[in-house]
Amino acid sequence: MKKALIILGIIILFLTIIFSLRFIIGGPEDTWLCANGEWVKHGAPSAPRPAGLCGEKTEIIISNFSECAAVGNAVMESYPRQCRAGGQTFIEDIGNELEKADLIKVDSPRPNQVIKSPLSITGQARGSWFFEASFPAVLLNDKGETIVSGIASAKGNWMTEDFVPFEAQLKFSAAPGTKGELVLKKDNPSGLPENDDELRIPVVFESATEKIKIKVYFNNNELDPELSCNKVFPVEREIAKTEGVARAALEELAKGPSEEEKRNGFFSNFNPGVKIKSLAIENGAARVDFNEQLEFQVGGSCRVSAIRSQIAETLRQFSTVDDVIISINGRTEDVLQP
């Protein structure tokens, strides 16, 4: 009996030694442990010591609109757009467009639009912005360096205080996917600093791989020979990737069908010159505000119904939209009435 107890004791001692060595020389328990903010070896881990202090939480610091939107926070498609995160609201940079609206207005490109070469610039400026029917246009890279400069030309009599249409075209080469700035300068033949002025528009240079597909909805006299007014059909468009994809879809809708789409029977009930002033999507409702051109000389219940269907179906392709509320210059009552 005594001999058996001695043997059992030896076995237990042997197993204890083996179990202890298990944590010293290897096995699944070999790792780095966090103790008082420091990494401490447990056993013999094969992995190198982790970088940084242990117990440290990874915190995403958001300081602007782009960073806020990039991590998936909700974006209010007002103008300028707003993004909310951590109790803060970040407003999208649109340059100084609003401050200069009474002097110069740009139809294309819009702030933060993805652009490619050649860039066509169109808009209107008061006659005082020109000299000899032109003014300078400059494209800058993300370092503020000049990529290319050119001239915007008046498309009418510039000897007036009224707004005069202008256009320009710039050919350029820039790093794909980077940001830049379009600067439209008031022509200042005097050279006096007090006569200087400029409009600054942030832009993004197109990246060849950053493309997405969307749908826009039109009527079609071949697919719907009876023209049932509110029956609309999708066409697919490929656009540059953007955070404001719903607004981009409406802008594609406002352009109307392409020549090829027209040949296939598609047509739009939109007036020329329709502009999207703002779009906000919240709690499943898309509130879209247009300029007065949307209902200019629009009559008849059929056409009104078709316009509403084109807008609603284009927006409802997005999972965040269940309901669509249309307004014109902020007015929702009696909008698009026959």
Predicted local distance difference test score (pLDDT) of residue 244: 82
Is the predicted pLDDT of residue 146 greater than 90, yes or no?
yes
Q: Look at 220 and 206; give whichever has higher pLDDT.
A: 220
| Closest alpha carbon to 92 in 278, 282, 217 | 278
Predicted local distance difference test score (pLDDT) of residue 134: 98
Average pLDDT of span 244-263: 92
Q: Look at 173 and 31; give whichever has higher pLDDT.
A: 173
**Range with lowest mean pLDDT among 10-14, 63-67, 187-191, 247-251:** 10-14
Predicted local distance difference test score (pLDDT) of residue 325: 93
Is the predicted pLDDT of residue 4 greater than 80, yes or no?
no
Predicted local distance difference test score (pLDDT) of residue 182: 98
Predicted TM-score (pTM) of this structure? 0.52
Average pLDDT of span 177-196: 95
Average pLDDT of span 146-158: 97
Write a three-state SS string for the chain: CHHHHHHHHHHHHHHHHHHHHHHHHCCCCCEEEEECCEEEEECCCCCCCCCCCCCCCCCCCCCCHHHHHHCCCCEECCCCCEEEECCEEEECCCCCCCCCCCCEEEEECCCCEEECCCEEEEEEEEHHHCECCEEEEEEECCCCCEEEEEEEEECCCCCCCCEEEEEEEECCCCCCCCEEEEEEECCCCCCCHHHCCEEEEEEEECCCCCEEEEEEEEEECCCCCCCCCCCCEEEEEEEECCCCHHHHHHHHHHHCCCHHHHHCCEECCCCCCCCEEEEEEECCEEEEEECHHHHCCCCCHHHHHHHHHHHHHHHHCCCCCCEEEEEECCECCCCCCC
Q: Look at 227 and 289; give whichever has higher pLDDT.
A: 289
**Range with lowest mean pLDDT among 75-89, 111-125, 184-198:** 75-89
Spatial strand order of the sheet with 82-85 comes to 75-76, 82-85, 88-91
Is the predicted pLDDT of residue 50 greater than 70, yes or no?
no
Mean pLDDT over each residue of the chain, to the nearest integer:
84
Predicted local distance difference test score (pLDDT) of residue 232: 93
Predicted local distance difference test score (pLDDT) of residue 144: 95
Average pLDDT of span 37-54: 58
Predicted local distance difference test score (pLDDT) of residue 97: 96
Report the share of the chain in percent with pLDDT over 90: 57
Is the predicted pLDDT of residue 220 greater than 80, yes or no?
yes
Is the predicted pLDDT of residue 69 greater than 60, yes or no?
yes
| 272 neighbors 310 (Cβ within 8 angstroms) | no
- Between 301-316 and 245-255, two packed helices, what is the crossing angle to 10 degrees? 150
**Range with lowest mean pLDDT among 38-52, 176-190, 234-248, 296-310:** 38-52
Residue ranges and CATH numbers for the domains of the chain are 2-42 (no CATH), 104-205 (2.60.40.10), 211-328 (no CATH)
pLDDT band at 26 (very low <50, low <70, confident <90, very high): very low
Average pLDDT of span 235-243: 85
Q: Look at 288 and 33; give whichever has higher pLDDT.
A: 288
Predicted local distance difference test score (pLDDT) of residue 49: 64
